[in-house]
Amino acid sequence: MRLLITGGAGSLGSALIEHFSKQCSAIAVIDNFATGKKGALPPGVEMALTEGSIANQDLVDQVFNDFRPTHVIHSAASYKDPNNWNEDAMTNVVGTTNVVKASERLAVKRLINFQTALCYGRPAEVPIPISHPTAPFTSYGISKTAGEAYVRNASIPSVSFRLANVTGPRLAIGPLPAFYKKLKADEPCSVSTTVRDFLDMSDFLSLMDIAISESAPVGIFNVSTGEGHTIEEVYRAVAKHVGKAHIEPEAINPPGPDDVVEVVLDPSLTNEVFGWQAQVSFSETIARMLKWYDENGITDIYSHLQGNN
């Protein structure tokens, strides 16, 4: 397997490099390091690294021509500035079309795309079934949903995974790193009344082991535990871990105008079709993530929400 990973310096991408390194004859990575870091790339893993944007068609075509991938995992995404619609559109739409067309041209055996759960917008039912209509209303959600449509219509075997909040090494987005960093620095934390689902990286990778196979199902699937937990639960778990369980949140706020009250995905179809199910509990998932922060620290933290960057 010759594996090309876009966005390889992000949390998911770097974990995938590490995970698949022993199964691949070669690995290539494209990343512009807008949110990922070069230091996040696993040490000791040989890879062909190209720094640049997937929105650059000539760059994408050159990498595909030189590397000749047999499998592609499309993990690159723009989300760090909710007001930069152009960047989101260029990376998440144009960039995705570049990856899809290059994959088709080389008859790639497997194309895997990662999609945000925000594609559903404000859901009419929770847990959100895969049949739920897409209704994104943020730049990130809109552009990722448009990009996914190109993946769905690719002429090669492709799968798009709509992901819960996957937690694991180098996670730099969401409430977990934000609470940890602020509480360690004795800074006040505000908590929203929202509910999210959290998936441990080991469960995510166990699904990827199945999905990368050329005989695996194709289509669109939710990836989640199917269980929702409040952001206040996350805060209290972090506060307890760092020895500050007695510190109450500065405020508990309703969702902002670009946020969603409850995002919990229904993974039942995924469980059935892939023969897969998440195994790690919420408490263990959070504990593993916090232990990693203890050992490695946190640098930048990003958010797709207004006012949280």
Summarised one tens digit per residue, pLDDT across range 46-74 is: 999 999 999 999 999 999 999 999 999 99
Which band of pLDDT confidence, cut at 50, 70 and 90, is reported for residue 39?
A: confident
Sign of torsion, CA 299 16 71 199? negative
Distance CA 75, CA 77 (A): 6
Q: How many CA atoms lie within 13 A of 145 on its CB side?
A: 15
How high is the pLDDT of residue 179?
96
Reply yes or no on whether the pLDDT at 309 is more than 50: no
Of 134, 152, 32, 150, which is closest to residue 80 (Cα–Cα)? 32
pLDDT of residue 302 exceeding 70: no
Distance CA 114, CA 51 (A): 20
Q: What CATH architecture is 2-166+198-223?
A: 3-Layer(aba) Sandwich (3.40)
Per DSSP, which regions of 7-140 are E strands?
26-31, 48-51, 71-74, 110-116
- What is the Cα–Cα distance from 136 to 238, expressed in whole angstroms? 30
Q: Which pLDDT belongs to residue 305?
A: 53
Output the CA angle 46-51-53, nearest 5 degrees: 130
CA neighbor of 177 nearest in space, from 19, 75, 82, 286: 286
Nearest to 79 by CA among 143, 175, 137: 143
Written as one letter, the residue type at 76 is A
Q: How far apart are the first and last CA of the chain?
A: 38
200 close to 144: Cβ distance less than 8 angstroms: no
Which residues are bridge partners to 114 per DSSP?
A: 161
Interstrand relation of 229-230 and 195-196 (parallel, antiparallel or unpaired): antiparallel
pLDDT band, residue 172 (cuts 50/70/90): confident
Give the model's confidence band at 173: pLDDT under 50 very low, under 70 low, under 90 confident, else very high: confident
Q: What is the pTM of this model?
A: 0.95
Query: Tens digits of per-residue pLDDT, 238-274?
Result: 999 999 999 999 999 999 888 999 999 999 999 999 9
Q: What strands lie across the sheet with 262-263, from one edge to the other?
A: 229-230, 195-196, 262-263
CA 272 to chain centre: 22
The token pair at 223 is 């990836």
Provide mean pLDDT across the span 150-170.
97
